[in-house]
Amino acid sequence: MKAFVHAFSLTPGKVNAGLELPGQFNQLQSNPIILLSDGRYFMPVAFNLSEAIYDCPFFWMNSDRSYAPVAVMNRGRFAEDAAANLLRTVFGAQNVYTDVQIKESKAKTVTDIDVLAVIGNKAVIAQVKSKRLTELARLGDETHLTNDFKLAVQEAYEQGLLSRRALFNSGCKLFSAEKEIHLSESIDDAYIVCVTLDHYPAVMHQLDVCLQKLADDPFPVAISIFDLKCWRFTCQIRSNLPTTCARGSP
């Protein structure tokens, strides 16, 4: 318990020396427990601790240079697994595939899909990115904002577009875990979902302003893993609603 409190606490007057503007990193975000002068601890907002527990390990592991490459690889793997598990609760485990490779031939891979969900002749292509929004982008720096959007959403969208076109090609075959996926119906439409592992403020507005696409290309849905969880929960509620309601019922 002492080690936990120490990891997430700070002492007033010894932090935030460079904090000057709203939106800059405030150490209270990573250390939301305040050590008071009389030895007691004070936590103004309990939610901040939950956020810190989720965010801080990313920085702790990246500070270990020998482990950082492994941390990045595992972070990406976790992002895909988390998205897949959420989609399985909606589409069913048998209809969700991960690390899908689309091949024109045994030797030629067209592209890959992080998570693919299929229902009948419809598909959902989820491309998951673990890119974080940088502090300068949060402060409104247009160059960094555009670059972060490109890495977090634009690249995922372009990969999703390539996958979408390949799904419509009857000559392509799908593989997951080196096993071929046999679909009961040909896919006639596929929806692209760009998922970020971290909260991405105003991503829907940025999608409208920054997304580069051709006129005939479909718009994607861009959401964080947290929004995906809320969407999953909404779908479960709707699926449990009765098909008919008594007179006077909402």
Is the residue at 9 inside a domain?
Answer: yes
| pLDDT for residue 243 | 42
Same domain, 173 and 210: yes
Handedness of CA 12, 16, 20, 21 (dihedral sign): negative
Is the residue at 15 inside a domain?
Answer: yes
Is the residue at 244 inside a domain?
Answer: no
Same domain, 59 and 99: no
Residue 205 domain boundaries: 74-238
| pLDDT for residue 209 | 84
Same domain, 43 and 83: no
Strand, coil or helix: what is 178?
coil
Q: Shortest CA distance to 75 belongs to which of 132, 149, 147?
A: 132
Same domain, 81 and 185: yes
Record the tokens describing residue 237, joined without a space. Answer: 């509620």
Burial class (CB in 10 A: 0-12, 13-18, 19+), 200: buried
Same domain, 27 and 130: no
CATH number at residue 191: 3.40.1350
Tens of each residue's pLDDT in the chain, 250 residues = 999 999 999 999 899 888 887 777 888 889 999 999 999 999 999 999 999 998 898 889 989 999 999 998 998 888 899 999 999 998 999 999 999 999 988 888 999 999 999 999 999 999 998 777 776 666 677 787 788 888 889 999 999 999 999 999 888 999 998 789 998 889 999 999 999 887 777 777 788 888 999 999 999 999 888 888 887 656 655 555 444 434 444 3
- What is the longest distance spanned by two Cα atoms in the chain? 72
- How far apart (Å, rounded) are the C-alpha atoms in residues 166 and 163? 5
Same domain, 40 and 129: no
| pLDDT for residue 17 | 87
Same domain, 128 and 226: yes
- Number of domains present in the structure of the chain: 2
Distance set, CA 109 to CA 77, 172, 185 (Å): 21, 9, 22
For the CA atoms of 192, 198, 203, 206, what is the dihedral angle to 10 degrees?
Answer: -100
Is the residue at 250 inside a domain?
Answer: no
Same domain, 100 and 185: yes
Last residue of some domain: 63, 93, 115?
63
Same domain, 12 and 33: yes
Same domain, 210 and 105: yes
By the 8 A CB rule, do 138 and 23 touch? Answer: yes
Q: Shortest CA distance to 128 belongs to which of 77, 195, 175, 201?
A: 195
Is the residue at 118 inside a domain?
Answer: yes
pTM of the complete model = 0.79
Contacts with 41 (C-beta within 8 Å, 6 or more apart), sequence order: 5, 9, 33, 34, 35
Is the residue at 100 inside a domain?
Answer: yes
Same domain, 217 and 96: yes
